[in-house]
Amino acid sequence: MHIGLVGLGKMGGNMRERMRRADLTVTGYDRNPDVSDVDSLSALVEALPSPKVVWVMVPAGDATRSTVEELAELLGEGDVVVDGGNSRWTDDLANAELLARKKIGYVDCGVSGGVWGLENGYALMYGGDAADVEKVQPAFDALKPHETDEGQFGAVHAGKVGAGHFSKMVHNGIEYAMMQAYAEGWELLEKVDLVDNVTEVFRSWRQGTVIRSWLLDLLVEALDAEPGLEGIRGYAEDSGEGRWTVEAGIEHAVATPAITAALYARFVSRQDDSPAMKAVAAMRNQFGGHAMQTVPPKGGDVEAGESGQGRPEEAGAARQAGVGTESEPSES
């Protein structure tokens, strides 16, 4: 097979190498001339035999959309475009419709594997017409994992156009929730003065437990490299799929509380001093006299709870005396 590949970044570059190791001919194009095999998208298309297959690995959104539009003018009947980026599945429907006017096929492919995919293979979820998928199959076979159960897992024709990226979207939503659960468990184990070596506890879970996973393996590797995760800021971006999963759940009336909570936790991580938590602290102080932490003024310290409502011990004394209080709130 001779395939064209657009976008040779961390993922695309490794995918080109993995396909070449499987004896596929790959012509790659990237705006970076240091890694590109040709100097233009048109030159890439010209280098391919018919039916031409062009795999796109560029950022989702405008970059993918403009690339597909350009390919619509360069390719012809019977050719196929594969979008292997993290596009939203609704974009696939528009891209497929655009290409169909020129009788060009379209396959959307969710790709998981990250920087480890070159050696371990990539999990592939693809959607599209069976005839179009068949034209891309040698590339799928080269990219998917080979060493597990004779390669029977790791790749799936998920359904019609959009099914691949929708499946990858849900995959990433699940990933959000799993990472958040591991992270919360790690924080709790570190917090208590009881467990001597949290990293070793996590390492023990890598065999024989129901929560073992590749994510757990990666967390242990991170803890080995940076004990206690010192020097790592508690800030996490979201790439889009988590939001889209939550939105899809709302649209289809499917509750996704774990995924939603994990997404919101990432939002909170980006705030050095969460305004929302300030409001929560203020309300807890108002209804229950709970202590608040305030920023010390210049030249001196302020005791926790000194908030204009009296110190916490004063509020506690008032409650005990029954002065100015309602029934004890259940929130603590």
Q: Which residue has the tokens 């932490």?
A: 293
Size of the chain in residues:
332
* CB of 6 closer than 8 Å to CB of 55: yes
Q: Which residue has the tokens 């497929």?
A: 96
Buried b (16+ CB within 10 A) or exposed e, 3-31: bbbbbbeebbbbbbebbeeeebebbbbbe
221 is catalytic: no
According to the model, what pLDDT value does residue 211 have?
Answer: 95
According to the model, what pLDDT value does residue 238 have?
Answer: 82
Alpha-carbon distance of 285 to 292, in angstroms, equals 7
pLDDT by residue, tens only, the chain of 332 residues? 999 999 999 899 999 999 999 999 999 999 999 999 999 999 999 999 999 999 999 999 999 999 999 999 999 999 999 999 999 999 999 999 999 999 999 999 999 988 889 999 999 999 999 999 999 999 999 999 986 545 578 999 999 999 999 999 999 999 999 999 999 999 999 999 999 999 999 999 999 999 999 999 999 999 999 888 888 888 888 878 899 999 999 999 999 999 999 999 888 888 877 666 677 777 677 777 777 766 665 554 434 433 334 444 444 433 333 333 333 333 43
Q: Which residue has the tokens 């393996």?
A: 217
According to the model, what pLDDT value does residue 280 have?
Answer: 74
* CB of 107 closer than 8 Å to CB of 139: no
168 is catalytic: yes
Alpha-carbon distance of 105 to 109, in angstroms, equals 13
Alpha-carbon distance of 63 to 288, in angstroms, equals 53
Q: Which residue of the set 150, 175, 184, 247 is catalytic?
A: 175
Please count the other Cβ atoms lying within 10 Å of the Cβ belonging to residue 246.
20
Which helix (H) or strand (E) segment holds residue 305: the answer is none
* CB of 55 closer than 8 Å to CB of 5: yes
Domains assigned to the chain? 2-161 (3.40.50.720), 168-269 (1.10.1040.10), 275-321 (no CATH)
Say which amino acid occupies 78.
Answer: G
* CB of 266 closer than 8 Å to CB of 242: yes
Alpha-carbon distance of 180 to 263, in angstroms, equals 9
- Contacting residues for 106 by C-beta, under 8 A, at least 6 apart: 80, 81, 82, 83, 92, 95, 96, 99, 100, 128, 132, 161
Quote the pTM value. 0.80
* CB of 30 closer than 8 Å to CB of 7: yes
According to the model, what pLDDT value does residue 285 have?
Answer: 75
Q: Which residue of the set 103, 168, 230, 241 is catalytic?
A: 168
- Give the up-direction half-sphere exposure of residue 35: CA atoms within 13 A in the CB hemisphere: 17
According to the model, what pLDDT value does residue 237 have?
Answer: 84
Give me the DSSP letters along 114-140. Answer: GGGHHHH--EEEEES-HHHHHHHHHHH
Which helix (H) or strand (E) segment holds residue 215: the answer is helix 214-225
* CB of 53 closer than 8 Å to CB of 3: yes
Reference 95, options 62, 61, 56, 65; nearest CA is: 65
* CB of 85 closer than 8 Å to CB of 60: yes
